[in-house]
Every structure is written in structure tokens, then in C-alpha cells.
Chains A and B, each alone.
Chain A
Amino acid sequence: MRKFRALVRLELLEFFSKYRTGMGYGATKRGRGLLVFTLLLLGIPFINMSIEAYQRFWGWGRPELGVAYMTMMAYLLLTFTAIPLLFSLYLHSRDFQFLTPLPIPTDDLVLAKLVVVWLYLTGINFVFLFPVALLVGLDAGLSVWSFLFSLLLIVVTPFPPLFLSSLAVLGLSNRRANRNRKSLLSLFFAFALLGLVLAAQLLLTNEGAARLVAWTERLTRLYPPAGWSAQVANGSLLGLLKYGALSFLCYWGLKRTVRKLYWSALLFSGTRSARRPVTFDYRLRKKSWQLLRRHLLLIMKQPVFLMNTILSLILPGLVFLIGILSGDLAAETLLLPNEQKRLLLFWLGLASTPALLTNLSATAISREGKAFWETRVLPVATWTNLRARIGTTILVNLAFSLLVTVVFFLYFPLEKLALLPGLFFVMMLTIFLAMTDLVINIYRPYLHWTNPAAAIKNNLNVLFSLAYRPLLAVIPFLSAVCFPGAGVYGILFYSGLLLFLLTLLVRKVLRTIMVEKFDQISG
């Protein structure tokens, strides 16, 4: 048992140290405290949702359905959370290599990892399911038993989703292609989770009472454990027995599947796949294209970089969409003919946010990390090297701005005339910021990171680059003051022109002072 405890401790340390370093906190007492504080902060929206579920269903006279609803959501949430975790802990873990030769029973090795996932999921359950279960228990006159039952409910609920996840991972792990697409899987499940949480919240706030109650009842009939969980929260011993039996069965199955995952992981790490004869493309390509491709791949192939980029690109659009779906932002008023100016501002705001928030250039050098030396020893002019980094930022941000524009013009009756000055302004803003942000990274390169999050999140470059953005408000203000009769489109055009002139200036600085400064960066 001592060995098992030591193993669990090791696994927990490794698991949470990844989170800690990912958030940029040090391995100090303060760092650990900050991690706990951050996790608690992240739990607040879940607690709110749980309480809201209780309040809604209580308001409709069926509080116990709140538990059933949250149980079903918890099953989905925990399954989606567990799949990438199991993938990472079992199939992509390197510690099996040194743990397996140790005199420890295989079951202990396998279960120690499982304990980590179970603890993590139980933690989620505590903020997601426990509040609603406790409140329903209180409704039924809180007794020691119903409190204990609610606690048991939280502790055993992760087993069925874990079992389902382990089956899914086992199925996926049989295909080598999927094993090599760990980053894609992580990304898919991260967005599935985000979508699920949003959907759960929107359903609660927007769906009509009768429909949601009927929908929950129907699903509870189809999936009885959700009903049993509601009975457990009400203090029913029979409900607890049924729920407990199901969880025990799932735990039993889970032990077997994760054992298979362990053997599969060992087999996978020790062998290479049979190599298929492949034909390669040897065509000569332009240097600038190859450099651009390299920087795009640096973002796309690193899950942390990709996730960060996509989230900062879609977040403003998502907020706008949620605003419309939740009714906080009335779509009907935006469709009114006299709302053109407001609509124009919304479009410009959304189309400009990639340039304003996705400050890729501020980390364009840091992202390369220890591989920075590669392009420095090649016969490539420094300016070409810098241009590829700027080009990557412009390409990503402008592509998204154009996508937003197409969607916006499809759904809202904006004047087509707005396209020309609007896009000119957005384009100039994107180019200007892509160039200026690179100056920051040239002055403050950070190449010796081990955790990719440190390269893009936890350095001051990103903050510096965001800090000067409010100053850009001066540009349209100046345009409006200098050209009072220009109108909205005129102001946009003159602002774009001003940005163009500023871009020329920054370009000059980059080509002279910054090129020299870049060459001084030691790889």
C-alpha cells in the first residue's frame, strides 16, 4: 500500500505540476497557492450553473429534475474531459518506461493513474453536481443521510463516464493514426467541452419550462441512472443501491480496459509501425513560402499555440453570438434600417478583434524556442526571416477578419459601400499591429522554455502588446477632428491612411534597427 500511495503521489505531482507550469506559476508555496486559487475561480461558473439548475427546476415545481438534468450534463462533461486525459496519461505517458521495470504490481501502476483522473473528475463533480444535489436534499429536509448520500453520489458518478471514455480511448488507440493526432484530439474535446458548457447554460436560460421539463423527463426515462441520482439526492437508499451497483460495475469494467490501455501503451512505445513505401515531393519552393509555412505549422502543430490562437480569434464572435442567443443583444433591433451605424460598429469591432487580440507577432520569435537557431544559419536575409513572421500574423488574422465579414454581410443588412473603407481600415490595422508587435518580441525574446504556454501566455510581451492598443483610439479621433465633414466612411478611410503611414514608419524601423537587433539574439 505504501508503494501505491507513493505512486499516486508521484502521478498527482506530475499532473498538477503540468497545470502549474502551464499557468506560469513557480514550484513554490505561492505558486501552489495560486494554482488552487485559480482552480477555485474556475469552479465559480460551474457552481453558479448548478445553483441555477436547482432554481429553474424548483421554480417549475420539479427540483429533483434539476439533479437528473445536471447528472446527464455531468456524464457528458466528465466523458469529454476524461478522453483526452486518458489518452495523455496512458497512451502518451513516458513514465511507464521507467515505472514498469520497478518492482510494483502492474495493477498498482495502472490504478495510480486512474486515481488521478478520478480525483480530477470528482473535483469537477463537486462544483457541477454537488450544489444542486445538496439543495435538493435541503428541500427534502436535510438529514445526515441525505448529505452523506449526496457526497457518495459525487464520488461514484465519475465511474460510468470514465468507463465509457476508456472504451472510446481503447477503440481509438487501435488506430495508429489517431495516436499520432493527440493534439487534434485534445483540441476537438476542448472545444466539445466548451460547446457543451455553453449549450447547458443556454438550455437552462432560454428553453421554455414545459419543454425543458418534458425533455429532461424523457431522457431520464431513457437513461435511468439520472433518475436514480435524483433519488439519491432525496435520500433514497434504493436509489443509492441501484446507482452504487452501476458504478461498481463500471469500475470493474474500467479496471480491465485501462489495463489493456497500459499494455497497448507499452507495445506502442516499444515498436515502430510497419513503414509503407511513400512517394515524396521534391519540388523546389520559394524561400519565403517555406518560411511562412514553417511559422504557420509552428502554430498549428503545437496544441497550446493552436488553442490559444483559435480561442482569441473566436472569443469576441462567441460573445456576440451568445449575446444574440441569450437575448441580451436583440438581433431584431440590429436589423432596423436606422441601426446601420451601430451595425457597422459591430462589424468593425468583430473584424478588428483578430488584429487587436491575436497578437501572434508578439510571440513570433519566442514560439520557436530552442529551434530558433535553424533559420539563422541558413542563407536567408534577416528581413526575409522577419517578413515571414509578420506575414504569418497577417495571414491568420486577416483570414479570420474576412470570414467574420462574409458571415456578417450574409446575416445583417449592412451597406455594401461600407466594405471598401471598412476592409481598408481593418487591413491596415492588422498589418500595423503585426509589425509593431514584432518589435516587442525582438527586444524581449524568450527561447529557453520547456512548457509552450510560457512562450505565449506567461511573458510580458503579450501584456505590453495589449497595453498600447487603447492608444490606437487616437487615430479615428484625429481623423474625425481633422476631417469633420468626412462622414463615417471617410473617417474610416482616413484612419486607414494614417495607419498606412505609421506602418511605413514601423517598417523602416524594422528594416534598419530591428534587423540588427534580431541578429544579436543568441539562440
Chain B
Amino acid sequence: MLVLEGVSKTYDGKRMAVNRLNLAVNAGEIFGFIGPNGAGKTTTIKMLTGLLPPTEGRIMINGVDLAASPVEAKRNFTYVPDHPEIFTAIRGIDYLNFIADMHEVPTAKRRTRIEKYTRMFAIDDALGEMIHSYSHGMKQKLLICGALLPQAPLFILDEPLVGLDPLAAKHLKEIMVHHCAAGGTVFFSSHLLAVVDQICDRVAVINQGELVICDRVERIKNDFAQSLEDIFLELTQDA
């Protein structure tokens, strides 16, 4: 579903943010992407979503080269950033309709999905209000609803649980699991190692722009005979 081949990003021709990253995320997988602050997680996600062009390497989404056919590649994923910075002078419903129009979601389907997801995340009664009146958590929920709306095969989520109340976090985790059970893929970054441990099939640890480890969660835990938290600390502190 998602393939990164030797992807690197250099700022100002000197500072290497991501160094020759190779990853392959399979369909039906929840893939955790973890690393300390400044490790290159957000840069990698920005490259995956087309927000930053890689200095070198290739990104394939559902078999489509992101650089060669960006529109086609972007039809295959939706993205929730770590900060809900969106245009807030419109109503919540306008935002969702905007996303649905961009992904060409037909009228009947969009209505059902908007009603379903906004009810699930308890923002259905705020859809007629301006987004600037929303709390941080509500904005995050709106972004998540927007990302679920097109039902793209790949979800890319950067710290999606930050700002969510426990019930909304539970719903999101369930949706991620259901999405993968139906053949979809989730690529998400998080600092919440307990959640990564709980729901991810595979995990990649990145540190100082380089991939430190990438394997099934259970296998990593067996190999190191430690908790994921301890393994993470060991791998990222040594570097």
C-alpha cells in the first residue's frame, strides 16, 4: 500500500532530516511510526502527504508514484495532522463538504457518512457553527471526520489522539482496526506507546532521521524481552 524507497530530506543542502528511509506498509496493516521529538517523523509524514518534496527517493501510494501522479496518489489517502490548523471562518459542515467535494464523494454517501462520523464523535450538533468557536478537541474530531469521509484506502495520522476525550479516542482506535480489517491501511505516528503496543501490527522506530528498527510489535518485544517503552528508550538514547 505504501512504499518508501531511499527517501531522504535535506534542509539547506546540509541538515539531513531524513536519511535514506526504506519502508513498506502492507494493505490491512496498522503501522506505528514512532521516534523522539525531532527524529524526522513529521518530515517523513509531510513527504508522504505531498507537503514536502523529498530530496531523493521515491514514494509509492497504492502503486502510484506520488511525484509522478500526485492527484492520483492523493486519491488514495487522507491525512490528519498533529495540529488542527484549518481555515476556521466557515462552518463545520462547510469544511466536511469541501473535503467531500475534493474527493468527489457522491451526495448520498457523503450525507450518510457525515451523519455517522459526526454523531460518533459527538460533533453533529455543532456542524452549523463556525469552526473558530470549536475547542481544540472538536477541531481535531472534525479533521478526523473529514479524513474518514472519503474512505480512502490509506489513513495517515500524525498524533491523532492528542486532544481527544477517552470516548472519541476509543472510537478512533476502533475505526482504525475496522478499516484495516476491511483491507485498508493506517499509518500513524504517536508518542503514546501503550496505544501503539495495543493496536499496531508493525512498528518502525526512527531516530535522527534514520530507521532504527521496523518489525512486528510482538517480535520486537520477544527479541528484546522488554516492554515497548523500554525498547524505545534503549534504541533512541543510544544513538
Q: Which of B85-93, B193-201, B207-215, B229-237 is found at the contact surface with chain A?
A: B85-93
| Contact, CB under 8 Å: A282 / B114 | yes
Number of interface residues of B (CB under 8 A): 43
A98 adjacent to chain B (CB < 8 Å) = no
For residues 181 through 222 of chain A, which have their beta carbon under 8 Å from a beta carbon of chain B? none
Question: Chain A contacts of B98 at CB under 8 A?
Answer: 290, 294
| Contact, CB under 8 Å: B87 / A378 | no
| Contact, CB under 8 Å: A378 / B74 | yes
Contact of A380 among B46, B51, B102 (CB under 8 A): B102
| Contact, CB under 8 Å: A282 / B111 | yes
Q: Shortest distance in angstroms between B4's beta carbon and chain A's nearest beta carbon? A: 17
Q: Which residue of A lies closest to B150 (CB)?
A: A379
Contact of A378 among B89, B99, B128, B129 (CB under 8 A): B99
Q: Shortest distance in angstroms between A72's beta carbon and chain B's nearest beta carbon? A: 38
Q: Shortest distance in angstroms between B151's beta carbon and chain A's nearest beta carbon? A: 14
Q: Shortest distance in angstroms between B129's beta carbon and chain A's nearest beta carbon? A: 8
Contact of B51 among A180, A281, A369, A523 (CB under 8 A): A523
A374 adjacent to chain B (CB < 8 Å) = yes
Question: Chain B contacts of A377 at CB under 8 A?
Answer: 49-51, 74, 78-79
Indicate whether A373 sits within 8 Å of B51 (C-beta atoms), given known contacts A282-B110, A284-B104. Answer: yes
Docked CA distance A275–B103 (Å): 29
Docked CA distance A294–B102 (Å): 12
For residues 244 through 280 of chain A, which have their beta carbon under 8 Å from a beta carbon of chain B? 272, 275-276, 278, 280
Docked CA distance A278–B52 (Å): 39
Q: Shortest distance in angstroms between A457's beta carbon and chain B's nearest beta carbon? A: 19
| Contact, CB under 8 Å: A275 / B104 | no
| Contact, CB under 8 Å: A368 / B87 | yes
Contact of A379 among B52, B53, B71 (CB under 8 A): B71
For residues 455 through 504 of chain A, which have their beta carbon under 8 Å from a beta carbon of chain B? none
For residues 168 through 223 of chain B, which have their beta carbon under 8 Å from a beta carbon of chain A? none
Which of B75, B90, B102 counts the most chain A CB atoms within 10 A? B102
Q: Shortest distance in angstroms between A91's beta carbon and chain B's nearest beta carbon? A: 14
A322 adjacent to chain B (CB < 8 Å) = no
| Contact, CB under 8 Å: A378 / B102 | yes
Question: Chain A contacts of B81 at CB under 8 A?
Answer: 373
Q: Shortest distance in angstroms between A300's beta carbon and chain B's nearest beta carbon? A: 8
Q: Shortest distance in angstroms between A73's beta carbon and chain B's nearest beta carbon? A: 35
B25 adjacent to chain A (CB < 8 Å) = no
| Contact, CB under 8 Å: A302 / B102 | no
Contact of A522 among B46, B87, B102 (CB under 8 A): B46
B70 adjacent to chain A (CB < 8 Å) = yes
Q: Shortest distance in angstroms between B114's beta carbon and chain A's nearest beta carbon? A: 7
Question: Chain B contacts of A148 at CB under 8 A?
Answer: none
| Contact, CB under 8 Å: B105 / A294 | no
Question: Chain A contacts of B50 at CB under 8 A?
Answer: 376-377, 519
| Contact, CB under 8 Å: A381 / B126 | no
| Contact, CB under 8 Å: B128 / A374 | no
Q: Shortest distance in angstroms between A244's beta carbon and chain B's nearest beta carbon? A: 44
Q: Shortest distance in angstroms between B154's beta carbon and chain A's nearest beta carbon? A: 12
| Contact, CB under 8 Å: A284 / B128 | no
| Contact, CB under 8 Å: A278 / B128 | yes
Question: Chain B contacts of A272 at CB under 8 A?
Answer: 126, 133
Docked CA distance A5–B96 (Å): 48
Indicate whether A282 sits within 8 Å of B107 (C-beta atoms), given known contacts A371-B86, A379-B102. Answer: yes
Q: Shortest distance in angstroms between A478's beta carbon and chain B's nearest beta carbon? A: 40
Question: Chain A contacts of B93 at CB under 8 A?
Answer: 280
Docked CA distance A374–B79 (Å): 9
| Contact, CB under 8 Å: A374 / B87 | yes
| Contact, CB under 8 Å: A180 / B130 | yes
| Contact, CB under 8 Å: B128 / A301 | no
B125 adjacent to chain A (CB < 8 Å) = yes
Selected A-B contacts with CB under 8 Å, 14 pairs: A275-B129, A282-B110, A282-B114, A284-B101, A290-B101, A294-B98, A297-B89, A371-B87, A376-B51, A377-B74, A377-B79, A379-B72, A382-B70, A523-B46
Closest 3 CB pairs of A and B: A301-B89, A370-B85, A379-B74
Given contacts A280-B128, A370-B83, 13 further A-B contacts (CB under 8 A): A275-B126, A275-B129, A280-B97, A282-B97, A282-B114, A287-B102, A297-B87, A370-B85, A371-B85, A377-B51, A377-B79, A382-B70, A523-B46
